[in-house]
Structure 1
Amino acid sequence: MILGPNLIDCCEGSIMFQLLASSKSSFKLVLQQANLWATWVIQQANLWATWVIQQANLWATWVIQQANLWATWVIQQANFWATWVIQQANLWATWVIQQANLWATWVIQQANLWATWVIQQANLWATWVIQD
């Protein structure tokens, strides 16, 4: 283990370590305990790192879902407003066409009235000329 020699170097000067390491079997026991402790620390670090990665993945998934929901809402709003704008443009175009038709009808009626009056005046003039 990488931690074994470092742990031993760290504790070598302590009285407790010297007492435990006074015999070969005690020294092996100290190394075994150090290795067990180092293994446990590594396992805990791996568990913690796994948990952190899982939390990051959950958070990233949530962020992506929220972004997708927001994008969907934005698209729906854009579609709604585009539809509304098109409807308003159609209503306005219909109104403009109706106004143009009304104006054209009025112009034609005025032209007919004027033409009728001109014809009547011509008839009156012709009748007057013929009678003379």
Structure 2
Amino acid sequence: MVTGPQSTPRSAKRMELDFPLGTDPVAIRRRVEALEHVLERAFTVPGINRKLGLDAVVGLVPIAGDLISGAMGLYLVWEARNLGMSKWQLARMTANVGFDTVLGAIPVAGDLFDFLFRSNSRNLKIIRKHLDKHHPHTRVIDA
């Protein structure tokens, strides 16, 4: 049996490249972008062509759903902390998640609010701005 890097199955290499677990800025950028996509834009609502994510879907479950989506949103804040972002930026991101969680917990109106106010997209914008300024090598140009 061969050991070493050549013996790694092809599927394991692919998974490693698709979801990096490192603490470097490139890996963090890929993780937060993937999580934001799942939370805010994973599905398209037929008829209105509006993107919908797990945040709005899980938010349909009263109280517990909003707490779960809030916890997932706080993961973005934790990753931002790992990047060394300022306390002001972290406070702003935490306020976005808190505002989304509290107002999302209101029955019916909160579900509409979750559909319109995308705290995770706002937080990703803050993270991207920080990364583009302090770690420009992490920027990916989409064609």
- TM bin (shorter chain): under 0.3
Higher helix share: 1
Pair member with larger Rg: 1
Higher relative contact order (CA 8 A, sep 6+): 2
Question: Which is strand-richer, 1 or 2?
Answer: 2
